[in-house]
Amino acid sequence: MPDFLLAVFQFDFNKIIEEILRDPLFINKVGQFETKNPLLFSSGLFLFLFLGFFGIYLLLRRKDGLRLTWVTFFSLYFYYKCAGIFWLLHVVIVVVDFTLALIMEQTRDRASRLALLVVSLAVNLGMLVYFKFNVYSELWCELTGSAFDLKKVFLPAGISFFTFQSLSYTIDVYRGHLKAERNMLDYAFFVTFFPQMLAGPIIRAADFLPQIRRPLFVSREDFGRAIFLITTGLFKKAVISDYISINFVDRVFSTPTQYTGLENLFGVYGYALQIYCDFSGYSDMAIGLALLLGFHFPINFDSPYQSLSVTEFWRRWHISLSTWLRDYLYIPLGGNQKGKLRTYVNLMLTMLLGGLWHGAALRFIIWGGLHGLALAVERAWKGWFPGTPGLARRILGGLLTFHFVCFCWIFFRAPGLPKVWEMLTQIATDFHPEVFPEFLTGYAPILFWMGVGYLLHLLPKSAEQQAQSWVVRLPLFFKASLILLVAMLVMQVKSSEIQPFIYFQF
């Protein structure tokens, strides 16, 4: 082994040993829920636990029942480490929706089937309403004029994701698109599967359930692709997203008036990159971890900032949510089949509810409403000016789309509407372009990682595919070395505290 790679290996190994020896109660970190230290893919504790979990998983590869039980228990433990006692919510959802779907399939009366579906909707959406729209929520405080205290808000991690995932199952059974699952263990495995439990992708039961009982097989290509996704996801999250967030974006959004309009504008550009790298980084790691376990998930992001329209943006951004909203909300409302006016109304309603899905606050409603309005305007525009746009219109469309999305991100990220107006006011009235040379010098590391992030994002799809193929062809030793090198880079740039994924709060 080359000395450099040996040093990297020893660095990581010694780190783990030192941590255990320094803390005689290290086992407490494994067994106890810590509110401020949830178990994250980017943490050393997760790596430590996953290696043990994966070893047992491989030993059980030919014993389906034990293997599925092992993964289900580990998934519930993983959620306990992220949300404490609220792991019981998964048990409630599994028992309720599994039972309702079985009864629904055996019931011929349409009204009775609809009543069963309503019960499923009430249980799943009731959880969302209870946790998101209670008297401590930002929206409630805005409507009542009371003071909002973020410390009083506790939202079980990923509740929007696993409730929507389970809802897709009962809705599909009601529609007759899917047979009810007969094995509760299989259904529990589907609902609780830990890689995508907390922040997606939202996997449909029709896509996932058939994979559960297939013989465990991970091809060389799947293994290489998993390594590529895990390392790129870790790089996007723990290097780019966390670094620009802690050192620049969070500070600007917290106190916009202490920064010039130029700094505020770059703070918005920084957040656009931060949320993409954070969320797509999680999705990449979730898809990669699932591949290591023998399960295939569809992509959740497809270079969204390359979009030439807002419509295209929503085909590339958080694909599992946008298609869920399309199939289970927009189309049932009538889609585009009931005239132009009704189509525009349906688009607005879908995006407004999509905004509420993200959080109970007026700023999320505005964010969703702006996107709904843009989708409606674009549909009308295409009706007025049909045909394929030329190069100039495509370039203009790309620039307008990116800046419109960035403008909407201000509402999404700001701690409240007053901060939104402060930031917009600074950009409009206190820009100070003359400080740009000093800005470049003072924020050189921030701008470097922002440049790297946007450059990688804007590369053509073929470049990503070539990089992935290169990783697939690497020998096992060099795949392991790649992971260690990325881990070492993370150690060099990370903050003292692990930063939770942005979408854990949704």
User: pLDDT tens digits, residue range 379-406?
Assistant: 888 877 777 777 788 889 889 999 999 9
Rounded distance between C-alpha atoms, residue 429 and residue 410, angstroms: 17
* Residue, of 470 and 16, whose pLDDT is higher: 470
pLDDT in tens, 309-366: 999 999 999 999 899 999 998 888 888 888 888 888 999 999 999 888 888 788 999 9
Task: State yes or no: pLDDT of 99 exceeds 70.
Answer: yes
Task: Concatenate the DSSP letters of all residues of 203-261 into one string.
Answer: --HHHHHHHHTSPP---HHHHHHHHHHHHHHHIIIIIIIHHHIIIIIHHHHH-GGGS-H
Least confident of 102-116, 210-224, 265-279, 375-389: 375-389
Q: What is the pTM of this model?
A: 0.87
- Are the C-beta atoms of 348 and 376 separated by less than 8 Å? yes
- CB-hemisphere CA count at 13 Å for 49? 20
Residue burial 462-483, b: 16+ Cβ < 10 Å; e: rest: eeeeeebeebbeeeeeebebbb
Mean pLDDT on 207-216: 89
Residue 16 is predicted with a pLDDT of 46
Rounded distance between C-alpha atoms, residue 155 and residue 89, angstroms: 12
Percent of the chain with pLDDT over 70: 85
Question: Which residues neighbour 117 within 8 Å (Cβ) at sequence distance 6 or greater?
Answer: 100, 104, 170, 171, 174
**Exposed, middle or buried by CB within 10 Å (0-12, 13-18, 19+), for 415?**
middle
What mean pLDDT, rounded, does the chain reach? 84
* Residue, of 121 and 82, whose pLDDT is higher: 121
Least confident of 47-56, 176-185, 491-500: 491-500
Percent of the chain with pLDDT over 90: 36
- Nearest CA to 138 out of 365, 424, 351 is that of 365
Residue 29 is predicted with a pLDDT of 62
Q: Report residue 464's pLDDT band, with 50, 70 and 90 as the boundaries.
A: confident
Pull the structure tokens for residue 119: 């019960």
**Active-site position among 90, 296, 318, 358:** 358
Task: State yes or no: pLDDT of 6 exceeds 60.
Answer: no
For the ranges 44-48, 115-119, 128-132, the one whose mean pLDDT is highest? 115-119
Q: Report residue 284's pLDDT band, with 50, 70 and 90 as the boundaries.
A: very high
Task: State yes or no: pLDDT of 216 exceeds 70.
Answer: yes
Q: Report residue 420's pLDDT band, with 50, 70 and 90 as the boundaries.
A: very high
Angle at 380 between CA 374 and CA 386, to 5 degrees: 120
Mean pLDDT on 152-166: 79
Pull the structure tokens for residue 328: 């289970």
Note if 177 is an active site residue. Answer: no
Residue at 66: amino acid letter: L
Q: Report residue 369's pLDDT band, with 50, 70 and 90 as the boundaries.
A: very high
Angle at 205 between CA 372 and CA 359, to 5 degrees: 35
Least confident of 108-122, 129-143, 320-334, 432-446: 129-143
* Torsion sign over Cα 362, 368, 373, 376: negative
Give SS3 for 187: helix
Task: State yes or no: pLDDT of 11 exceeds 70.
Answer: no
Task: State yes or no: pLDDT of 19 exceeds 80.
Answer: no
